[in-house]
Structure 1
Amino acid sequence: MTEGRVAVFAPSPQLTVTVEELDGVPDIHVHAGGQGVWQSRMIDSLGAQAVLCCALGGETGQVLRHLIGVGVEAREVAARNGAYVHDRRQGHRDEVVRMPADALSRHELDDLYELTLVAALRADVTVLSGPAEDDVPVPHSVYERLTRDLGAQGGRVVVDLSGERLERALAGGPEVVKISHEEMVADGLAESDGLPDLAAGCRKVASFGARAVVVSRAAAETLALVEDELWLVESPDLTAVDSRGGGDSMTAGLAVALAQGESLEDALKLGAAAGAVNVTRHGLGSGSGDAVRELAGRVRLKSWEDGGCEH
């Protein structure tokens, strides 16, 4: 098994501050966050090399550079990175304040695009991730351009997006699309979250050229369309501590397996195991590679159209 190199496009990581309670007193945690950061952490845990392609600016960007913890290709910008403060002392997340990311200037955007293109062409697989839905540090059209340009050079692109970002990326023709069932319904790709409607949505997404469409369904079995065959992905039943980040870890597992030369079916198993391990932990995008690979052997693929035949 080769190590594998995965480029992760995350245009504007977030600075996250979370207040917990330890022995009756506040316990403050400061981390780098955002979808791409969490994916990159899991990619590194699984033994591949993550390269996070991003812009860093303002006081938040200065702090983030010291917190990201994985390989980084960054463009220094004037635009500030976003940040949030969450209070979790009552056992659930209460958002105290959130600062959105600034939009990049035209020259900053050009430099970030070029930086990402070079890093992605040197990688085995590229993951395109997005900031929060109401943060628009880069135009949505960037996702279409990256997907198309990388695909034209033989690059393998995995997208974990929703809304207009996903719509634009699909126009570029990605190889793998990861989406949640809620996002699929909200984006009008499926009429409901019932399996027949989600399956029809998978086929609609695949019509743009994707070889695999993976639909996470919270605690229910993941639905996947792989080269026109529908599978239900049954993960080991583990007690969840924090469900946030499970989908991002699944995307990381998919990308690592492909970067290491595994089949799409084996990529589904590693992705499902990574998501299962992540939700047992308080840290997003966390979990050991040993635990994930042990659980990957316990993931089962069942043909949905053949009455639950296992693979």
Structure 2
Amino acid sequence: MTGRVAVFAPSPQLTVTIEELDGAPDIHIHAGGQGVWQSRMIESLGAEVVLCAALGGETGQVLRQLIGVELKARDVAARNGGYVHDRRAGGRDQVVRMAADPLSRHELDDLYEITLVEALNAGVVVLSGPAEHDEPVPDSVYERLTKDLGGNGCRVVVDLSGARLAAALAGGPTVVKVSHEELVGDGLAESDALPDLVKGCRELASCGARAVVVSRAADETLALIDGTLYLVEVPALSPVDTHGGGDSMTAGLAAGLALGGSIEDSLELGAAAGAVNVTRHGLGTGSGDVVRQLVERVRLKPWEDA
């Protein structure tokens, strides 16, 4: 095992958050997006990580300084997206959002090659999506990457929804991570009732995936691993911000596989990482030491559906 994970994040975002400190505005500027948050948690859990991305425009120049993990980037003309959120009232009020530009054909080809090389060297890859409604790369890229990497011995973990998920499923991933809202929203489950989610799990697994993991917000995570159903019980912790819990779970799944764990062991690590993340204000954050302590308290409970 290499202990290394490649993360495909085609277009990270520049995030600006306005908070309040001692009665005055307090501005925070970070690199964000699903793949960035996952990469941070993977590294916290003791695995090496390399982020494969395209960076362009003024936003891309700033992102290069902020990403904070090993980066393999293609410099592009397409601008990275970004947003400004005002959190002074306690919520996430969006002030402005700039969508990412689509990559040109040559930019896309080069990013694809970078990802192939890094993922094959790592042996485990996470395919993450850009921001909702952004389309820097065509959906077909996810099918090609899943097929090409999986066909050459790389274990592919996908955390996607909608057309991107459908494309990745056609390529045959190793592990599929979705939320119950995504499963219902994509028409793969009739409702968020457990029997309906189980049917959705089985449909997803028909693509050849060894594991399908469905996070269910405050309810126990549902998992189908090699045909066996589990409910995942985690220690009760007081949530601060539920954003990013699913991304941390995906990071734990990938890190566990890279570090030599079974899918079951990796799911326990992912569940603990997700539980820790929701106790913090930052996305993709949490101490690896705390996560490893909580792993001992995670339980996979076999569940028989009717």
| TM range, smaller chain | over 0.9
For 1:58, the equivalent position in structure 2 comes to 57
In 1, distance between residues paired with 2:143 and 2:197? 24
For 2:141, the equivalent position in structure 1 comes to 142
In 2, distance between residues paired with 1:261 and 1:224? 20
For 1:133, the equivalent position in structure 2 comes to 132
For 1:262, the equivalent position in structure 2 comes to 261
- What is the letter of the counterpart of residue 248 of structure 1? D
Query: TM-score with structure 1 length normalisation?
Result: 0.97
For 2:176, the equivalent position in structure 1 comes to 177
For 1:212, the equivalent position in structure 2 comes to 211
Runs of 4+ in 1 over 6 A off after TM superposition: none
Aligned to 2:184, the other structure's residue is in SS state helix
Q: Is structure 2 residue 86 aligned with structure 1 residue 87?
A: yes
In 1, distance between residues paired with 2:270 and 2:258? 13
In 1, distance between residues paired with 2:135 and 2:262? 34
Per-residue deviation at 1:133?
Answer: 2.2
Contact 1:178/1:213 (<8 A) preserved: yes
In 2, distance between residues paired with 1:306 and 1:268? 20
Aligned to 2:260, the other structure's residue is in SS state coil
In 2, distance between residues paired with 1:155 and 1:92? 40
Per-residue deviation at 1:127?
Answer: 0.2
In 2, distance between residues paired with 1:45 and 1:124? 19
For 2:95, the equivalent position in structure 1 comes to 96
In 2, distance between residues paired with 1:306 and 1:237? 25
In 1, distance between residues paired with 2:10 and 2:2? 25
Per-residue deviation at 1:3?
Answer: 6.6
In 2, distance between residues paired with 1:123 and 1:235? 29
Query: TM-score with structure 2 length normalisation?
Result: 0.99
Contact 1:6/1:255 (<8 A) preserved: yes
- What is the letter of the counterpart of residue 218 of structure 1? A
- What is the letter of the counterpart of residue 81 of structure 1? N
For 1:196, the equivalent position in structure 2 comes to 195
Aligned to 1:284, the other structure's residue is in SS state coil
Per-residue deviation at 1:304?
Answer: 1.2
Aligned to 1:148, the other structure's residue is in SS state helix
In 1, distance between residues paired with 2:26 and 2:56? 27
In 2, distance between residues paired with 1:201 and 1:185? 8
May I ask how many residue pairs the two structures share in their alignment?
A: 306
Contact 1:236/1:295 (<8 A) preserved: yes
Q: Is structure 2 residue 295 aligned with structure 1 residue 296?
A: yes
In 2, distance between residues paired with 1:297 and 1:63? 39
Contact 1:39/1:251 (<8 A) preserved: yes
For 1:35-74, list aligned pairs within 5 A: 35-74=34-73
For 1:248, the equivalent position in structure 2 comes to 247
Contact 1:3/1:47 (<8 A) preserved: no
- What runs of 5+ residues in structure 1 fail to find an aligned partner? none
Contact 2:102/2:137 (<8 A) preserved: yes
Q: Percent identity?
A: 77
Per-residue deviation at 1:45?
Answer: 0.3
For 2:111, the equivalent position in structure 1 comes to 112
For 2:230, the equivalent position in structure 1 comes to 231
In 2, distance between residues paired with 1:53 and 1:87? 29
Contact 2:123/2:153 (<8 A) preserved: no
For 1:154, the equivalent position in structure 2 comes to 153
- What is the letter of the counterpart of residue 254 of structure 1? L
In 2, distance between residues paired with 1:230 and 1:216? 14
